[in-house]
Structure 1
Amino acid sequence: MIEAVGLTKRYGAKTAVYNLSFQVRPGAVTGFLGPNGSGKSTTMRMILGLDEPTAGHVTVGGYPFRKLPNAPRQVGALLDAKAVHGGRSARHHLLCLAQLSGIPARRVDEVLGVVGLQNVARKRSKGFSLGMGQRLGIAAALLGDPQVLLFDEPVNGLDPEGILWVRNFMKQLASEGRTVFVSSHLMSEMALTADHLIVIGRGQLLADMNVKDFISYNSADFARVRTPEGDPGQREKLTAALSEAGGQVLPEQDGALRVTGLPLPRISDLAHGADVRLWELSPHQASLEEAYMRMTQGAVDYRSTVDERAALQQQMPGAVPQGAPYGYAPGAPGAPGAPMGFPPGTVLPGYAEPPAPPQPQPHAPGMAMPGAPAAPAASAPAAPATPPPAPPLPRLSRPRRPPPPPI
């Protein structure tokens, strides 16, 4: 069993965990939930003796982790699947851990088979995928056949088959009487795996209860009621009857009614008394994700803001409005086929400057202009067949320094 009493950890002016007390009992999978930055990883590090608490204490089986005799045989943990020397093979990595803990080498092959890495046991871990690294980390946690197991995001990077395997494996370990403590952000997976939940926010305990009670306590109970869609009169009659009986009725986006304050049998009796047919009458079943979001909504440190991209595009000169047809050009709204792109002669950074268009040559005195009457041949000098070549540009050279004065 894991027991934390008044656990507090400060890093300078920042308090990561404050006065945290809980128990993780054997025989059940206990989920450890909380937003990013809530102190979950810090709490696990203090359980494993990697961080010293500022105040309070935490014990495993009645002892601090550092005082446990042969701790790797009593506690197994997966905190960082990437904490593996990339040049070692999977078998060599586990063999080194086994030798340090006095575990026989045959156990290495056993756990490799348990996690499904027996075919890649002699490959270097630097070529492993994220899911294979997770399996190797689970194998390392199982190496000493411990009674207490801690896992931080154990299904990260696993495929659906691997996630199902981890879920069933956690339940199997708990059914053997072991203490299983799992931290995860996948609410749907925790709903299927965990029996008990410990939820923290900003380093403080928010909830310590089983999954069913947590969902029931942190979700709104209401009934969904639906009347025939082609008869709005029945919907209005039912709304009036439910409101008169003390219920609160709110319309849903899909056309149903959300009714609170009345049990389902009472709603059915009121509909029957008002001669209203019901197409749906069902209790609302909240999910763990919904209950978790409602519980932790005040403990989230990182929130997204509304993207103001539309307003930004309206302020930018020459911006193409959303939904404009292909070929739209500023100044000609809605005109398909209008010229697009940059004005002629625009030079973009990193691109060569376009060649200058040919300039008309100046006319010499007496030269005939297009469309003008021809001058007498005697007074008009003969024009050359081709324009004379442009004189070459003068070469740029550095000015020579004057010779030094004689000494």
Structure 2
Amino acid sequence: MIEAVGLTKRYGDKTAVYNLSFQVRPGAVTGFLGPNGSGKSTTMRMILGLDNPSAGSVTIGGYPYRKLPNAARQVGALLDAKAVHGGRHARNHLLSLAQLSGIPARRVDEVLGVVGLQDVAKRRSKGFSLGMGQRLGIAAALLGDPQVLLFDEPVNGLDPEGILWVRNLMKSLAAEGRTVFVSSHLMSEMAVTADHLIVIGRGQLLADMSVTDFISANSADFARVRTPHTEPQLREKLAGALTEAGGHVLPEQDGALRVTGLPLPRISDIAHEADVRLWELSPHQASLEEAYMRMTQGAVDYRSTTDQKAGLQQPLPPGAQPPMPVPGQGQPGWYAPPGPQQGYAPPQPMPGAAPAAAAPGGPYGAAPGTPNPYAQPGAPAAPAAPAQPPAAPAAAPQASERPAVAPQASAPTTTEDAR
């Protein structure tokens, strides 16, 4: 059993883990959940003696990891699948670990077969894919046939077959009475693998309970009711009857009703008494992902903002000259999309007609100098309107003085641009 008591870890003025206490019991798969930066990896490193806690303690079977006799035979861990010498063969990597811990060499071949790498045992690990590296790391964790196992993102990089294999492996290890502690961000996988959850946020404990209790405690179950969409009056009639019976009714965007406070049989009876036909009456229970998002919404450090693409297109300053025609403008098949917050683009001139002068702000509101992604590569540019002589010395420069737009301006010039 793993037991943490008041576990705290500080790095300078940053507190990664604070007063964390929990137990990981044998015979069950315990999921370790939390947002990025919540302290999961730091906690696992302290369990394995790789980092010293600033306060508190963590033990395995009653002893700190560093005081366990022949710890490799009692604790197996996968924290970083890339922590392998790339020049070593897979078998030699495991063989060196076995020799350091007094494990027989035959065990190396056994675990290679367990993880499915027996056919590539003599390949150098630097040529392994991410999934193959994960399998090699799991083999290293199983090498000493330990009673306690810790895995950090064990299904990272695995294909569906590999994910199913890891899921079954975790369950079988726990069924043998071992302690299995798994950190993962895949809520759908944790929902079908873990029996118990430990959830932390910003280094502090948020939840320590079974998966079922966690979902129930962090979600609101409700009934979904739908009436014939051709008879909206029935929907209103049913909503009124359910409200009178003590239910709480909320309309949904697709026309259904969300009902809380009443069991499904009671809702069915009320609909029957009101002579309302039902097209749907179904229970809804939140998924682990929904419950997790609700629990940790206040402990997320990194949030996305709206991509303000329109802010990249600045209007022309007053009096600025319009840009030169975009290559391909006026040619058959040329099209410019409407600018931000604009409607239908005006029709293009017929082939052979003189091209219209570009409007300020670029064609149809596009930013000046913006390449046209719809221009046909290599299409010749339409002729510009004849330049007018300047009316005064302060007037705008002649068309010949304006920088010409290269025909390939819309083509990417670097590999990064092409992406």
Asked if TM exceeds 0.5, the reply is: yes
Aligned twin of 2:303: 303
**Paired residue type of 2:84:** V
What secondary structure, in the 3-state scheme, does the structure 2 residue paired with 1:188 have? helix
Q: 3-state DSSP class of the match of 1:9? A: strand
- Identify the residue that residue 179 of structure 1 maps to in structure 2: 179
The letter for the 1-side match of 2:226 is R
- The question of whether the paired residues in 1 share the 8 Å contact of 2:250 and 2:257 is answered with yes
* Alpha-carbon distance between aligned partners in 1 of 2:42 and 2:315, rounded to the nearest angstrom: 46
SS of the residue corresponding to residue 155 of structure 2 reads coil
1:300 Cα offset (Å): 0.4
SS, match of residue 100 in structure 1: helix
Taking a change above 3 Å as real, the CA distance of residues 137 and 238 of structure 1, as seen in their structure-2 partners, is same
Deviation at 1:239, TM superposition (A): 1.0
Which amino acid in 2 is paired with 1:289?
A: E
Partner secondary structure for residue 207 of structure 1:
strand
Paired AA for residue 346 in structure 1: P
Larger mean Cα displacement after TM superposition, 63-72 or 242-251:
242-251
SS at match of 1:56: strand
Kept after mapping to 1: 8 A contact 2:29/2:194: yes
Between the aligned partners of 1:129 and 1:10, the Cα distance in structure 2 is 35
Number of the residue aligned with 1:346: 403
- Aligned residue in 2 for 1:365: none
Q: Give the match for residue 403 of structure 1.
A: none
* Distance apart, 1:312 and its partner CA: 4.2
Structure-to-structure mapping, 1:311-326, within 5 angstroms = 312-313=312-313, 315=315
Q: CA deviation at 1:154?
A: 0.2
Question: Is 1:334 aligned to residue 346 of structure 2?
Answer: yes
Aligned CA distance change for structure 1 residues 312 and 248 (closer, same or farther; 3 Å): farther
Which residue of structure 1 lines up, in the alignment, with residue 58 of structure 2? Answer: 58
Q: In the aligned structure 1, how far is the partner of 2:309 from the partner of 2:243?
A: 43
Distance 2:175 2:23 in 1: 18
SS in 2 for 1:255: coil
Aligned to 1:156: 156
**CA 1:329 to 1:202, structure 2 compared with 1: closer, same or farther past 3 Å?**
closer
**Partner deviation per Cα, 1:42-68 (whole Å, 9 max, x = no partner):** 000000000000000000011000000
Q: Which residue of 1 aligns with 2:235?
A: 235
Contact 2:220 2:285 in 1 (8 A): no
Question: Which residue is 1:270 aligned to?
Answer: 270
**SS of the residue 1:37 aligns to:** coil
Taking a change above 3 Å as real, the CA distance of residues 48 and 254 of structure 1, as seen in their structure-2 partners, is: same
Tell me how many residue pairs correspond in the alignment: 348
Partner of 2:80: 80
Q: Which deviates further from its counterpart, 268-277 or 45-54?
A: 268-277
Any conservation in 1 of the 2:31–2:194 contact (CA below 8 Å)? yes
Deviation at 1:335, TM superposition (A): 2.6
| Structure 2 residue aligned with 1:108 | 108
Greater gyration radius: 1
Query: How far is 1:315 from its partner?
Result: 4.5
Q: Secondary structure at the match of 2:50?
A: coil
What is the correspondence of 1:5-404 to structure 2 with a 5 Å cutoff? 5-310=5-310, 312-313=312-313, 315=315, 327-328=335-336, 333-336=345-348, 346-347=403-404
Shift of 1:85: 0.4
SS of corresponding position for 1:294: helix
CA 258–98 in structure 1, closer or farther in 2 if over 3 Å, else same: same
Partner of 1:379: none
Q: What secondary structure sits across from 2:122 in the alignment? A: coil
Q: Distance in 1 between the 2:348 and 2:101 partners?
A: 75
**1:197 is paired with a residue of what secondary structure?**
strand
* 1:243 counterpart SS class: helix
Question: How far apart, in 2, do the equivalents of 1:329 and 1:83 lie?
Answer: 50
1:221 and 1:283 in contact (8 A); partners too: yes
Partner letter of residue 24 of structure 2? V
Match of residue 390 from structure 1: none
1:326 positional shift = 5.2
1:262, distance to aligned residue in structure 2 (A): 1.8
Pick closer, same or farther for the CA change 1:83–1:260 going to 2, 3 Å: same
Q: Secondary structure at the match of 1:239?
A: helix
Using the size of structure 1 for normalisation, the TM-score is 0.81
Distance 1:295 1:193 in 2: 20
Q: 1:359-397: per-residue Cα shift (whole Å, max 9, x none)?
A: xxxxxxxxxxxxxxxxxxxxxxxxxxxxxxxxxxxxxxx
1:311 deviates by: 5.0
CA distance in 1, matches of 2:315, 2:194: 51
Which residue type is aligned with residue 197 of structure 2?
A: L
Q: What's the C-alpha RMSD, in Å, of the aligned pairs? A: 2.5
CA distance in 2, matches of 1:149, 1:65: 13
Partners of 1:86 and 1:125 within 8 A in 2: yes
Gaps of 5+ in 2: 327-332, 350-354, 357-362, 364-371, 373-380, 385-401, 410-419
